[in-house]
A and B are shown apart, each in its own frame.
Chain A
Amino acid sequence: MLEIKNLHVEVAGQKILKGIDLTINAGEVHAIMGPNGSGKSTLSYAICGKDGYEVTEGSITYKGKNFLELEANERAAEGAFLGFQYPVEIPGVSNMNFLKTAVNSIRKYKGEDEMAPVEFLKLVRAKAAELEMDPEMLKRAVNVGFSGGEKKRNEMVQMAVLDPGFSVLDETDSGLDIDALRVVADGINRMRAPEKSILVITHYQRLLDYVVPDFVHVLADGKIVKSGDKSLAMELEKQGYGHLGIDENAA
């Protein structure tokens, strides 16, 4: 489904990713762990097409499409979703208007008609309820004045509404208390389906108790240094990165 081969990425002339190989098949959940500065967010941006993240070598293919030829919005329309580590505040744009524009932009890309307003409203309300988000927040400007936890929850509402085929979730669990973590984890689990895949980036094994991954990879200094199943996450939790010969404070 998603195939990353020998991916090299530079940011501002600096080599950050140094040859990543990663294949995520339909139905699979993968987790990436690694110390701060190892390149986890960079990988998520490269997959989703952020300007300034220059792919100097290698390839990213999604459902047979060469992602490197597509704009960020085209990648989203093809089914990729990025849950941001730091969701952006957009003053003056309401969550509702933002979501409606997003849904209809993707429909436009696919050559479909706009969603009927009533149907859209129902969809958004249902997804907000699933994620226990106060419907009043839908009227507010995107992420403006939201707490860290509310921002992460808002990311999950967006994911649920857009219903992507592939989601990369960048530290969606950080800054959440245990109740919020459970709500978010339920949201992620609802996205699990035989035709969908998910890449969870996390610092803590905690989330992986709720969202049990099929594979766990350890990223260090721009490379995947170890892969395994969920027991690898538990091993890291107990013994730390130093055990793998990785300097925690390398970045």
Chain B
Amino acid sequence: MTHKNHFDGSRYANDLTLAYSAPTGTDIDWLNEIRQKSMDAFVEVGLPGARVEEWKYTNLSSMNSKTYGVLEKAGELDAAIMAIIDDAYLDDIRGSKVVFIDGFYKAELSTIKGEDGLKLLSLNEYIKSQNGDAKTLLQSTHEVSSLANLNSALMTDGYVIQVKPNIKLSQPIQIIHVSGERSNLKALRNKNFIEVSENSSAQIIESFIGVDNVDNWKQDVTQIWVEKNAVLEIYQTQLQGNETIHMGETHIDVAEDADFKHYSLNIGAKNSRTEIKPTLNGLHGNVDLRGAFLGRGGNSHDVFTHMKHLVPECESDQIYRGVLDKGGKSAFQGKVYVAKDAQLTNAEQSNKNLLLDRDAEANSKPELLIYADDVKCAHGATVGELDAEALFYLKSRGLYLAAAKSLLVEAFIAEVYDDVAIPSVKEKYLGLARAWLD
């Protein structure tokens, strides 16, 4: 199925040695074992090729000739980096601010606000401070993809967020990932864990930003648990530099009566790949996935969702919108699996794409695997152009063509962010979309 010759296994041996010491400053045997095992698993399979169904729209062949080695430490801070952090930071949000530079947590740029029942720290701190728990946590991940294995082998840092039972976080946590010049030809790999315990709730605002003309590979793998009757909302924006390969893979376990919401906006990067894989494994769980991707001039955005309904009476709803201008490309693949026992499932999925130019491409592939018989599953996928009648209507009222297009595109995207609960986050999403259009 896959081709191991997709990459040169030996070149990772050196990376592994670097990774052994990079994150914690000390060699930890159990961690090195996990790294070695994960690396072996990765080498066995290699990078996913175009023949793998899940990757058929994404061409990773350009990565083969590059090394994208492990980066040992973050680059120096300069004015340009500080400016883009300022841009990304929402200063009306009073919760903790967590900043990663080149894949490493930066305490001097972060503000961790103590809050009862909240544990928030970098993966490296976590590993250093609580060896036993960390081992359990790192071994608990059940990733199956070769890229997730590569991440486990070579990750250099990440974050751990744990919310104890019966705690409603009073403020959203802001996480900002920045990649700078130093990451050129390097891979920045983070592994993250979020656990929201029974009857608790949390909101996380996560921005991925970077400078232009830096050829790097950002790869985050995140494991999330939303426990019984808990609520988690994640708000992501991706504005990486124009030469970045951006990959985010998120696995979510959604328990009984739990509620998980994930919003995203992909604008930057040469190639972005957003994978979201929720598993509904408790009665009455709910998942809402919302996202938009805007591409032009060599951007390619992939969104891959895999919604797994394992038990009865859960709901999931997905709304994704793509806007592709000259030279932009996208693929949405939305897989919905409903197990035999998952009766009374309600699963919806909608992906609409707008092409603003002849030289633009949008692919949309819903895939429903339904083994229960009493379910409601609806899906819709469209690729179209702006409505000429609507454009003329707007122009006949005095709107310039560009303004008319902006208004229509904004309206097309707006549905995705309609129910964003934090006003400044909603405004940020719409503002970024508007800026992309202008």
Contacts and interface: CB of A to CB of B under 8 A. Distances in A.
A73 B387 CA distance: 17
Contact of B408 (A84, A87, A90, A102): A90
Contacts of B401: 71, 73
B396 to A, nearest CB: 5
Interface in B385-437: 387-390, 392-401, 403-404, 407-408, 410-412, 414-415
Given A93-B408, A97-B407, A102 B393 contact: no
Interface residues of A, number: 30
Interface string A85-107: 00110111100011001110110
Contacts of A76: 395-398
Contacts, number: 74
30 contacts: A48-B396, A50-B392, A51-B388, A51-B392, A71-B395, A72-B395, A72-B396, A73-B399, A73-B401, A76-B395, A76-B396, A76-B397, A84-B393, A88-B389, A88-B392, A90-B394, A90-B408, A90-B411, A92-B410, A92-B415, A93-B411, A98-B397, A101-B399, A101-B407, A102-B394, A102-B399, A103-B398, A105-B398, A105-B403, A162-B397
Interface in A47-76: 48-51, 71-73, 76
B390 A88 contact: yes
Contacts of A158: 397
B398 A98 contact: no
A82 interface: yes
Contacts of A49: 395-396
B398 A88 contact: no
A51 B389 CA distance: 10
Contacts of B394: 90, 98, 102
Contact of A87 (B393, B400, B404, B414): B393
A164 to B, nearest CB: 10
A109 interface: yes
A103 B392 CA distance: 16
A31 interface: no
A77 interface: yes
Given A76-B397, A88-B389, 20 more contacts: A49-B396, A71-B395, A73-B398, A76-B398, A82-B396, A88-B387, A88-B392, A90-B394, A90-B408, A91-B411, A92-B410, A93-B408, A93-B410, A98-B394, A101-B403, A102-B397, A105-B399, A105-B400, A105-B403, A109-B398
B355 to A, nearest CB: 18
Given A84-B393, A88-B389, A88-B393, A93 B407 contact: yes
Interface string A109-137: 10000000000000000000000000000
Contact of B407 (A48, A72, A98, A106): A98
Contacts of B414: 92
B398 A106 contact: yes
Contacts of B388: 51
A87 B404 CA distance: 16
Interface in B346-373: none
Most chain A beta carbons < 10 A, residue from B389, B399, B412: B399
Contacts of A97: 407
Interface string B239-270: 00000000000000000000000000000000
Interface in A28-55: 48-51
A98 B396 CA distance: 12
B385 to A, nearest CB: 13
A49 B391 CA distance: 12
A152 to B, nearest CB: 14
Contacts of B390: 88, 90
The 8 closest A-B pairs by CB, nearest first: A92-B411, A72-B395, A102-B397, A88-B393, A106-B398, A76-B398, A105-B398, A73-B395
A92 B417 CA distance: 12
B301 to A, nearest CB: 21
Contacts of A106: 398
B286 to A, nearest CB: 25
Most chain B beta carbons < 10 A, residue from A48, A84, A90, A103: A90
A49 B393 CA distance: 11
Contact of A73 (B400, B410, B411): B400
A249 to B, nearest CB: 27
Contacts of A71: 395, 401
Contacts of B408: 90, 93
A76 to B, nearest CB: 4
A48 B390 CA distance: 14
A59 B235 CA distance: 55
A93 B410 CA distance: 8
A120 B393 CA distance: 21
Most chain B beta carbons < 10 A, residue from A49, A87, A102, A158: A102
Contacts of B399: 73, 101-102, 105
Nearest to A109: B398
Contacts of A72: 392, 395-396
Interface in A118-166: 141, 158, 162
Contacts of B403: 101, 105
A174 B392 CA distance: 22
Contacts of A84: 393, 396
A154 to B, nearest CB: 11
Contacts of A81: 396
Contacts of B400: 73, 105, 108
